[in-house]
Amino acid sequence: MDSSTIMDVMRQMLLVCLQVAGPVLIVSIVVGLIVAIFQAATQIHEQTLTFVPKLLVISLTLLVLGDWISTNIQDFVTHIFELMAQV
């Protein structure tokens, strides 16, 4: 296994990480921004007001995208094992 193959695997690994974590992080940021705007408009600064909506929306996102996320990770791990078998 040469250095170009290792760099290619590292690039693929970073892309898979971004694909898996990206949707959850984006949804979390959007919900946090909406709650922050609501808190600023109403001047209600309750800590649970930020936590509970994020928890619910992230759980729903993981429920909806769970199959896609596991398929992405499984495909990458299968690719890694195929590369290891070639060595």
Taking the alpha carbons of 18, 21, 24, 30 in that order, is the dihedral positive or negative? negative
pLDDT at residue 57 in the model? 96
pTM, 2 dp: 0.82
d(CA 28, CA 61): 9
Residue 81 main-chain phi, psi, to 5 deg: -65, -35
pLDDT in tens, the chain (87 residues): 788 999 999 999 999 999 999 999 999 999 999 999 999 899 888 878 889 999 999 999 999 999 999 999 999 999 999 999 988
Q: What is the mean pLDDT of the chain?
A: 93
SS3 content of the chain, % helix, strand, coil (to 5): 90, 0, 10
d(CA 84, CA 61): 33
Is-contact 31 54, C-beta < 8 A?
yes
